[in-house]
Chains A and B, each alone.
Chain A
C-alpha cells in the first residue's frame, strides 16, 4: 500500500462535514482545524472511512491564555501523510472529553497518559489504569498542569498495579524486573506461563519517568536542545532533529540546503550504529558469540567515526535550531562515506555468516511473530512495522531534511518474526551507507546555519523525523518571549511496547529475550 491514496481534499471535506471551523492548510499535505469536543468521535469515524486513524494525541494546559485545556489530535494513515491536525477545547470545569479508545489503539494509550498527567477524563475509555505514573503518585496530582505545586510528600504504600490475571490449572506467573541480571534499563515484565509457553505478558514501565516534558516548560530554545538530545540516549539525533524541525516550523525559517544534507548524514550514522549493535545483541541472545563480538567491534569503529565527525560518539551537539554546527561542517564527507561503506560491507558479511549458520537461523525464523493484522490493528510504527508488512517510512512518504533529494528505498518484510526484524536492520544499514555516499556526492559549500526568528506566543507546530526505531514526534507550543510553552514528545517506543506483548504469545519463555532484543524499544523514551 503506497501513500497518497487519500487526498488532502477528501480530508478537508470530511472535516467540514463534521462541523470543523477554521480549516486551513499548514502545508500542501496537511490541514489543521478546530472541532467542538463533542464532534471528535464523529470526525474520527469519517476519517477512518478514508483510512486516516489517530496517530497522535496530546494535551496542553492553555487555561491561562484561553481558559480551557487544548487537545491536539493528528489523523493520518500509517504513512502519516496527508494529515489532519484537529484542535479541541476541553473546558477546565468539566475536564472530560470523549474517548477514541475503542476506535484507535494508539489513541487509547495517549488518553491514559493524558488522564495521568493532566487529570482530564476520557469518557468511555475501557481501561483507565495508570500508565505514565505509578500507584504511589498521590491522587489528584497531575504534574503537567501549569499551576501544579511541586510535591515531594510521596509515600509508597506498596499498592500493587492491577495486572491482568490469568488463572487455571498449571498456569504460573513469572515476574521479571524491574531490576535485571544484565545492564539494561528498568522495566517489569509479568508472564503467565503454561509450562514454558507464554500465554500472557504484561509490561509495566515508567520506572525512569523523569518529568522530561515538564522540564521543557519555560526553557529557552537553546537550553532545551541538550534536553531533547537526552530523551533517549541512542536516539540523540532523532529527537534533537524533531525538536529543531518543530522550532523551525514555528519560526518559519528554512534551513540552508547544506545543513539539511548534513542532517541526513547525522541521522543515518545514528541509524547504522544502532542497527549494527542490535543485530549483534540479537545474535548474542542465540548464544552465537562470533556475531556478537564482530558486530560490537564494528559498532565501536562506527562510534569512533562519529566522534571524529562531530566530537561526540553519540553525535550530540551537531544539530541546532536553524542548522548544523561543530566539526561536521568542515568534515571530509567523501572519506567518511568510504569508511561507512567499508564498515557496512563488513557488517553485511558478518550477518551473512551468522544467517548461514542453521542453528542461528532456526532460532530467528518464526520466533516472536507479529502478524500484519495485529501490527495494523495496534498501529505499530517504524522498523517493527516494516518487518510486519507495514510499508511506511517518513523519509520517503513525507521527506524532511534532504531526503527529497536523495530518495530512500524502503525495505519491507511480511513475516513479522525476529528474522524479519533482523533483515530490515541489515537492509536499512546498507541503504544508510548509500545515503551517506549520496550526500557526500551532492555536497556543495554553503552556509550551514541561519538565525531563528522569535516565536509567536501560543503558536504550535510539529517536528516529525524517521529515527532508527521509527517516527519521532515533537509537538511544540511556543510560550512568551521565545521560550517553550509545552513540548510533547512521542518516541516510537511508546507506540510499539504493547505489540511486544502480542508478539511473544505462544512462544516459549527462553525465547522472550530474543523477541525483546529484536524490538529493542527504549524505556527512557517511553517513560519520559
Chain B
C-alpha cells in the first residue's frame, strides 16, 4: 500500500516537475542550434513563478467553463501521469484504465480547452478552437491505430504490460512494423502538442496560432496552469513514445533502486528525443495550415500499415 502510494507520488512529481524542464531544454537547444545563446532550460520555472504572482484578468463574457478549464487540464494531465508507465511497468492507476482511457483523457482536455477558447467570444479564440479541433480530429485515429498496432503484437491493451512484453521479447520490438508505428506516433505527438511543423509555439502572430490562440484570453495563474498542463502533455507523449517503443530499462516496482533505474532510463531516452524534436523544429518551417491534414493523413497511413503488418507478418 505505502509502496504503491510512493510510486504514485514519484510519477506525479516526475511529470509535474519534469515537464517545465523539458520545455525549457527544448527552447535552449533550439536557440543553440540557430546560433543564439537562448534562455536557460530553467526559464519555464521562472515564468510560472512570475505568472502565479500576477493578477488574473477574466473577461466578463466568460462562463464557469473558462475558469474551470485550467484546473481540469492539470487534473487530466496528472491522472494521465498515473496511467502512463513513467518509471515502472506497473503504473499506479493501471488497474483503472488502459490505452483507451489514456486517449480519451487527452481528448477531454482538448475538448475543454476548445470550449474555453470559444467562451470569451473573441475572434482569435474561436479561430484557435476551430483549428485545434480540426487537428485533433485528424490526429486521434492515428494515436489509436498506432497504439493498437503495438497492443495487437503484445496481446494486451494494458500499457504497462505492453512495455513488459516488448522489454522481455526484443524481437517483437525490432520489427519494421514497430518503426512505422513509431513514426506515426511521433508525427501525431508534434500535432497534438502544438509543435512545428503543425503549430509554432514561439509565434506572436495571433492570426497563425492554434494552441496559443485558444489561450490568448488567459492570464496570471490560469495561464500558468494551462501552460503547465500543455508542458505535461508534451512530457507524457514523449514518455509514451520513449517507453512504448524503446521499452528497455523499466521493471516492476520492486524497490527504490528499480524505480530509480527506470527514471534514469527515461531521462536518457527523453534527452535523445528532445534533441530529435529540437533538430526537427530547426530544420523545418511551419506547414501551411491546409497542408497539415496531408501530414496527418500520412501519419495515419503509417499507423495503418503497421497495424496491417501485424496480421501479414504473423
Contact = CB atoms under 8 A, between A and B. Distances in A.
Interface in B263-290: 281-290
Contact of A196 (B123, B282, B290): B290
Interface in B71-85: none
B287 A294 contact: no
A363 interface: yes
Contact of B202 (A283, A289, A509): A289
B200 interface: yes
Interface stretch (B86-94, B167-175, B204-212, B235-243): B204-212
B35 interface: yes
A513 B286 CA distance: 13
Nearest to A290: B34
A363 B288 CA distance: 6
Contacts of A181: 204-206, 216
A288 B207 contact: no
B53 to A, nearest CB: 22
A293 B283 CA distance: 13
B59 to A, nearest CB: 15
A512 B209 CA distance: 12
B240 to A, nearest CB: 25
A373 interface: no
A289 B27 CA distance: 12
Pick the most buried of B34, B196, B288: most chain A CB atoms within 10 A of its CB: B288
B123 A175 contact: yes
B205 A513 contact: yes
B314 interface: no
Contacts of B123: 172-176
B253 interface: no
A74 to B, nearest CB: 37
A304 interface: no
Contacts of A174: 123-124, 127, 207
Interface in B181-230: 196-197, 200, 202-208, 216
A182 interface: yes
Contact of B196 (A182, A283, A287, A511): A287
Contacts of A359: 197, 284-287
A290 B204 CA distance: 17
B34 A180 contact: no
Contact of B36 (A180, A283, A293): A293
A360 interface: yes
Contacts of A513: 205, 207-208
Contacts of B290: 196, 508
A288 B288 contact: no
B30 interface: yes
A363 B289 contact: no
B202 to A, nearest CB: 7
A287 B282 CA distance: 9
A297 B35 contact: yes
Contact of B288 (A290, A293, A511): A511
Contacts of A363: 285-286, 288
A172 B123 CA distance: 9
Contacts of B287: 359
B286 A289 contact: no
Nearest to B198: A287
Nearest to B208: A510
A510 B289 contact: yes
A508 B288 contact: yes
B34 A286 contact: no
Contacts of A511: 288-289
A450 to B, nearest CB: 47
Given A293-B36, A509-B127, A360 B288 contact: no
A346 B30 CA distance: 21
Contacts of A508: 288-290
B211 to A, nearest CB: 13
Contacts of B36: 293
Contacts of B127: 174, 509
Contacts of B282: 289-290
Contacts of B203: 287
Interface of B: 30, 33-36, 123-124, 127, 196-197, 200, 202-208, 216, 281-291
5 contacts: A176-B207, A287-B285, A289-B282, A357-B284, A508-B289
Given A174-B124, A286-B285, A293-B34, 17 more contacts: A180-B206, A182-B205, A283-B285, A285-B205, A287-B197, A287-B203, A287-B286, A288-B285, A289-B202, A290-B282, A359-B197, A360-B285, A362-B288, A509-B127, A509-B207, A510-B208, A511-B288
Interface of A: 172-176, 180-182, 196, 283, 285-290, 292-294, 297, 357, 359-360, 362-363, 508-513
